[in-house]
A and B are shown apart, each in its own frame.
Chain A
Amino acid sequence: MDTRLKQRNGLDVAVSKSATIRPTGPQLVRLYTNMVRVRRLDEFLVDAYYSGRLAGPFFHSQQGQEAIGAGACTFLRPDDYVWYTHRGHGVCEAICKGLPMRAFVAEHFGKATGSCNGIGFINTCAPELGMFGMGGTVGGESTLAAGTALAAQFRGKGQAVLCFLGDGAMGEGSVHTALLMSANWNLPVVWLCSNNGMSMWVPVEAAYPKENVADLAFGYDIPSTIEDGQDVAAVYSAVHTAVERARSGQGPSFIEFKTCRYRPQVEGVADYCLDGLRDPVEVKRWKQRDPIDLCARRLLEEKILTREDLDRIDEEALAEVQDAERFAAESPLPDPSLLDTALYAS
């Protein structure tokens, strides 16, 4: 099995092209199904934001970026650690790692049955799935990710750590310190940078001296690759190649995914870019390579699924979202006694 990540200068030498790890037909179906589930859930949360049903004042939709979380998290081990970002509030990573939709929606409704017992909101916490949550400072968990990788290394059971970052997060010094630490200590961590071209309202070309964020990993001697973030099979191949490196003690990897967020930085605010608006033509161009459509086309072409199968997957995803909504709506609010017990461990 080829677990080397090659030095590269562009997409054409993406490691996924030559990877020996590729999703099988049934695996591709699961990847597709997860992307659809996440998309439907994300759409629901956007609606819930506008109808005032969310417990807090924001939602950062991840629509357009599903292939990355799905390709990376669907086939991890339960004891692998995953650190996600504010984008989607972890919806893609958590659902694909195995969090029930009910816990996710209930948390967004501020209910006691939510993944943080109703006081976390953007936080999605599932320690049993190796997910410890996300506080809200961009890049703020990267050093924590290095710490979990250190724990995994101590334990020696082949656990891997995935740490998602936005392109913007690469500005934070603590992210670089974490990269350096992972290189120095050969930690079993995969750094996943979803480069959607925007850090808040600043385009990536105004924030970086170079085109590819992955170039930053060169300095730390961390093997890196640049991948098509819209192709879930490529994501799967690249991430699992890197995960195998981590499991087998070969150290950290860095993967940059080129992708696009379809919606604004945050709901309720226009799609700003610098002192104007983001070019809608650009977003439209990306939508022609929608990760779900691309995967559907492949499943049909390779005769893995039929149109009817695709429709059924979609219907089931919608039904699952509706179930989660009902569950969350009927759940109780958190009891105030939580305030007495949540701060310190006994």
Chain B
Amino acid sequence: MREITYRQAINEALHEEMERDESVFILGESVCREQWDTHRGLVQRFGRARIRDTAISEAAIVGAAVGAALAGYRPIADIMFSDFLFCAADETLNQAATHRFSNGGKTKVPMVIKTAIGGYSSSGPMHSQCPEGFLWHRPGLRIALPSAPYDAKGLLKTAIRDNNPVVFLFHKLLLDVRGEVPEDEYVVPLGSADIKREGADVTVVATSYMVRMALDVANQLTRYGVSTEVVDVRTLEPLDLDTIVESVDKTGRVVVVDEDVSRCGVTAEIALRIMEAVSRPLLAPVKRVAAADLPIPAGHLERRVLPKPQDIADAIGTLMNIDGRLVVEGFSEKPGFSVG
């Protein structure tokens, strides 16, 4: 099968859905070009009315998207860095997330918030965050956070067609990652986790960039005779708990990995849901790997705050009750970007 990058996968999904449905349009800051280069060819094909540059106002971008969605369109609100989504907290959390419910289920808000997440680039606390825990806390938002090109394309297409606000979180460090993507039309349903690697001893449940990190660790651990299964949640809302629990029931051990902070975070929530749902007792208490409960520092201390491959290996070593350390190599997809 052909291989394309995660960036191209996002781009193809946008081209295809804008072609398929005239009510889809994009609004955001400098979106003709787009910070992450995911909009290539869109403005030439669909024009500046549908690829719409806005003033620098996240509140206006998300709020106008909610309004246009209510009035029958399918806007994609482009927020350059997910950190800036907090500038549109009211529009996202109070309006988009609750609109339908507070109107007794009579309205719908079919929109996408497409935004870049992730650290590992020493950009400091306002250009590095992963907001999935914060967003998941709010009932009413769907959340997709793909780790591979195939998932990025399939999930974005589904997100655009969904009748609810979907936050599509793409990771900056995944943009140049290549993977198999069919030429033919396909979609990935929301709420379907994916077993990215099969294994027998331990399950790692991970999100986004952490899936790649976990896969790399899993491959390295084979030399210690540890067989690791990696489950990619792909979407947090809805969460495919069945696939996760099935894996944990098989292995009896689980590490949950997410790049957001641990406190009140994605790892906490998933870990607890697993414990509530497993059909046989775990062989060891759940382990979590997540960012320290700190803002993300710029500079050399960033690496002490964000999850590392060795953290995942250490968690697995503890679960497996292995004497001595499971030493793994560092791993980083080259950041290789300059940001606005």
Closest-by-CB residue of B relative to A60 is B340
A110 within 8 A of B: yes
Please tell me if the beta carbons of A201 and B292 are within 8 angstroms of each other in the complex: no
Interface pair B292/A135, CB less than 8 Å apart: no
The answer on a CB contact under 8 Å between B56 and A136 is: no
Which residues does chain B contribute within 8 Å of A334, judged by CB atoms?
Answer: 299-301
Residues of A within 8 A of B57 (CB): 171-173
The residues of A that contact B48 with a CB separation of less than 8 Å are 274
Is B297 positioned at the interface, with any CB of A under 8 Å from its CB? Answer: yes
- Chain A interface, >50% SS class: loop
For residue B54, CB closer than 8 A to chain A, the reply is: yes
Give Cα A179–Cα B32 distance, bound, in whole angstroms: 30
Which residues of A lie under 8 Å from residue B43 when comparing CB positions?
274-275
Name which residue of chain B comes closest to A272, CB basis: B33
| B335 A339 Cβ-Cβ under 8 A | no
Whose C-beta in chain A lies nearest to the C-beta of B299? A110
User: With contacts A56-B122, A168-B55, A336-B304 known, is A343 near B29, CB below 8 A?
Assistant: no
What band does the interface of chain A fall in when counting residues whose beta carbon is under 8 Å from B? 35 or more
Shortest distance between the CB of B52 and any CB in chain A (Å): 11
Chain B, Cβ-Cβ closest to A49: B338
* Segment at the interface with B among A117-125, A155-163, A305-313: A117-125
Complexed CA–CA distance, A232 and B337 (Å): 35
A56 lies within 8 A of B121 (CB): yes
Per-position 1/0 for B75-116, Cβ under 8 A of A: 000000001100100000000000000000000000000000
Interface pair B32/A274, CB less than 8 Å apart: yes
Which residues of A sit under 8 angstroms from B182, Cβ to Cβ? none
Choose from B30, B123, B124, B297 the contact partner of A201 (Cβ within 8 Å). Answer: B30
A265 within 8 Å of B (CB atoms): yes
| Residue from A56, A119, A206 within 8 A of B301 (CB atoms) | A119
B15-40 interface mask toward A, CB cutoff 8 Å, 1 = contact, 0 = none?
00000000000000110110000000
Any A CB within 8 A of the CB of B201 = no
Chain B nearest CB: distance from A172 CB in Å?
5
Query: Which of A57, A123, A343 contacts B338 (CB under 8 A)?
Result: A57
In the complex, A336 Cα to B294 Cα: how many Å? 13
Q: Chain A 240-272, CB within 8 Å of chain B: the 1/0 string?
A: 000000000000000000000000011111001
Q: Most chain-B CB neighbours within 10 Å: which of A56, A274, A336, A339? A: A56
The prevalent SS among residues of B at the interface is loop
Interface residues on B, range: 35 or more
B298 on the A face (CB < 8 A): yes
B95 CB to closest chain A CB, in angstroms? Answer: 14
Question: Roughly how many angstroms separate A120 CA and B298 CA in the complex, as a whole number?
Answer: 6
Q: A210 to chain B: closest CB distance in Å?
A: 13
Which of B84, B297, B305 has its CB near the most chain A CB atoms (within 10 A)?
B297
Asked whether, in the complex, the Cβ of A268 is within 8 Å of the Cβ of B30, the reply is no
B123 lies within 8 A of A121 (CB):
yes
Expressed in whole angstroms, the minimum distance between the Cβ of B93 and any Cβ of chain A is: 16
Among candidates A121, A274, A343, residue contacting B53 with C-beta atoms closer than 8 Å: A274
Kindly report which residue of chain B lies nearest to residue A138, judged by CB atoms.
B56
Q: B60 — which chain A residues lie within 8 A by C-beta?
A: 171, 173
**Contact partners of A171 in chain B: CB under 8 A:** 54-57, 60
- Chain B residue contacts of A56, Cβ below 8 A: 121-124, 298-299
From A137, A201, A275, B83 is in contact (CB under 8 Å) with A137
With A and B bound together, what is the CA distance between A118 and B127 in angstroms?
17
Do A118 and B300 have beta carbons less than 8 Å apart? yes
**Is B126 at the interface (CB under 8 A from chain A)?**
yes
Hey, which chain B residues are within 8 Å of A275, CB to CB? 32-33, 43-44
Q: Is B49 an interface residue (CB 8 A)?
A: no
A122 touches B301 (CB 8 A): no
Chain B CB within 8 A of A199 CB: yes
State the Cβ distance, B203 to closest chain A Cβ, in Å. 30
Instruction: Report the Cα distance A199→B29, complex, angstroms.
Output: 9
Determine whether A318 belongs to the interface, using a CB cutoff of 8 Å to chain B.
Answer: no
**How far is it, in angstroms, between the C-alpha of A271 and the C-alpha of B281 when the chains are bound?**
59
Determine whether the beta carbon of A57 is less than 8 Å from that of B124.
no
Question: What residues on A are CB-neighbors of B87 within 8 Å?
Answer: 137, 140, 172, 174
Asked whether A200 and B55 contact (CB < 8 A) given A56-B124, A122-B298, the answer is no
| Cβ B298 vs Cβ A172 within 8 A | no
Q: Give B87 Cβ to nearest chain A Cβ, in Å.
A: 6
* Chain A residues with a Cβ under 8 A of chain B: 55-58, 110, 118-123, 135-140, 168-174, 199-202, 206-208, 265-269, 272, 274-275, 333-334, 336, 338-339, 342-343
Sampled A-B contacts (23; CB under 8 Å)? A56-B298, A56-B299, A57-B338, A110-B122, A119-B301, A120-B298, A121-B122, A122-B124, A123-B124, A136-B125, A139-B56, A168-B55, A168-B56, A171-B56, A266-B339, A272-B33, A274-B33, A275-B32, A275-B33, A333-B300, A334-B301, A339-B292, A339-B301
Excluding A199-B56, A336-B304, 20 further A-B contacts by CB distance (< 8 Å) are A55-B299, A56-B123, A57-B123, A58-B339, A110-B122, A110-B299, A119-B124, A120-B298, A120-B299, A137-B126, A171-B60, A173-B57, A266-B339, A269-B338, A269-B340, A272-B30, A274-B48, A275-B44, A339-B292, A339-B304
